[in-house]
Chains A and B, each alone.
Chain A
């Protein structure tokens, strides 16, 4: 099952990236860039009604 967790930049406090499938052999750190296809996939996942785990 796909899981996402939002990540906060410690310097600015902004949430501008997301981790996919954390603690696996293929974890993705995905930037919020509209041309990035992993980010496009994340947006589709959210549009389907899913919610990412909140940032620490």
Chain B
């Protein structure tokens, strides 16, 4: 049996050791860039989950979460409009991408205009960056990107707890390329250790002079509007403009090398669970047809109380999203049914179990058990819960 005794193993052209061996205790440290788990702070980075819809058109007038889970679009004062969709155009090893397609151009850019694609991250999921301490770690962002033509955009990390940001440009071509961006550590301003929005990761895709007239903030500093999007192209410069993104990852740079690890592929079920902490699509009618919601019991002749146990605890007590423009809900009991338009959340709801009652009257009587579902006579009913950041 042979044995190799070394202090470290280093690449021929590398400046740092890939493996450093402890000479006395038999352990080593390694700068591994693949097959590590639980390191991606981004949820749905592989663009696999789209509980709201797979496509939405006419976006641009107001901020909203659309199509792919966890991704929020933010606009200000732009006439530009776009379609957002979950697409199958993707690099090898991926099945999906997020696609943005400009449908109305905006080439007369007012000073206060912007268009951002963002994901907000809870502070309690960011503590390993050690931000605001002497042990602060660098940030590494990586993603695959493709456009219809060359363009330059900015990816910004914005510390919402301390009003600090750091910004770097990246280039897009008409082919899929993997972008890796290294951001410095920040020894100022700790992330809150709670369930609030501590870090916003922004793609800057369109901006007026209020955001482009300064010097790009390439080291952490106090939030300054003019330094946020210096040097970017405009996504709204032509209706030919498209942008595809997938494999988005934000990780702690534990090695300090600035090298991104391989994208952390999670299973569909794992990713769906992570998304349901923020949004839960219980029932949605694409066409007519019943869809079950939950059981309830008649409290009196007016009110049915229901209990809905959630598949995963949500970030906060959720809001109900529903269509109330008609009688979309129907409760059955005691040999008959009543339909009504509104379901209301009770203040006794929690992040794990939601208590709900009907906003209209029913005639089944108190003490009667019910089951409630979307009305079979309607075609666009929905019952969704949101606890987004």
Contact = CB atoms under 8 A, between A and B. Distances in A.
10 contacts: A9-B346, A9-B347, A14-B347, A25-B325, A26-B321, A27-B322, A28-B321, A33-B317, A36-B318, A36-B319
B347 A32 contact: yes
A35 B388 CA distance: 10
Report the interface size class on chain B: 20 to 34
Given A17-B344, A35-B316, A27 B324 contact: yes
B380 interface: yes
A19 B380 contact: no
Contacts of B344: 7, 17, 19, 29
Interface string B354-389: 000101000000000000000000001000001111
Given A19-B342, A29-B342, A39-B319, 6 more contacts: A10-B299, A10-B357, A25-B323, A27-B322, A27-B342, A35-B317
A27 B195 contact: no
Interface in B154-177: none
B299 to A, nearest CB: 7
Interface residues of A, number: 25
B151 interface: no
Contact of B341 (A23, A28, A32): A23
B316 A36 contact: yes
Contact of B325 (A23, A29, A31, A36): A23
A41 B317 CA distance: 15
Interface string A5-47: 0010111001011010011111111111101111100000000
A53 to B, nearest CB: 14
Among B299, B300, B341, B347, which residue has the most Cβ atoms of chain A within 10 A?
A: B347
B200 interface: no
A31 B386 CA distance: 11
B169 to A, nearest CB: 30
